Amino acid sequence: MQEVSSGKAISNTRAKPTFLTIGSERRISTGQWNHSLMADHVILEGNEKPLPIGTLAKVAHGSGSPRNKKNVRRNLRRLRQELMSRGYLLLITYEHLKGAQFAKLYNPNSEEDRQTLDHTLGMMQKKGDLLHSEQMRARQIAEATNITDAA
């Protein structure tokens, strides 16, 4: 005996992830990393103060467990690229033997951020983590923000 299909196509579509506000905290609805939403979060929250990796893990995955922090660290390069495509620079603070600890948007008015940017670009170029075109784009963004903030 064979079943007769109704002729309707079955589509498995997923809802696009969004931010949920639970109490005073923001979370991604799917509980999974999303480059675009995390870039939005960093733009909103990471202008003035560095964001701890644990905080980013809580937003993306719901908790700041070591495994979730590891997943965040794994996605930082792509997050940096996403932010660069939007005209922002992401500064990442590393601790010896612990990896990335903080992420912050570049503020050209901060002397500390300018020094960190030069150091970060040098280290990334040395490690081969930054393509030449990405390095040139980062320097263009830094120069453009310096000019617009000085005016």
- What is the tens place of the pLDDT at every residue in 53-69? 999 999 999 999 999 99
CB-based burial label for 17 (10 Å; 0-12, 13-18, 19+): middle
Question: What are the pLDDT digits (tens) for 12-49?
Answer: 787 789 998 888 889 999 999 999 999 999 999 988 88
Query: Distances in Å between the alpha carbon of 131 and those of 100, 114, 126, 136?
Result: 20, 20, 11, 9
Q: Are 136 and 142 in contact (CB under 8 A)?
A: no
pTM listed for this prediction: 0.80
Residue type, 62: G
Output helix, strand, coil percentages for the chain, rounded to the nearest 5: 50, 15, 35
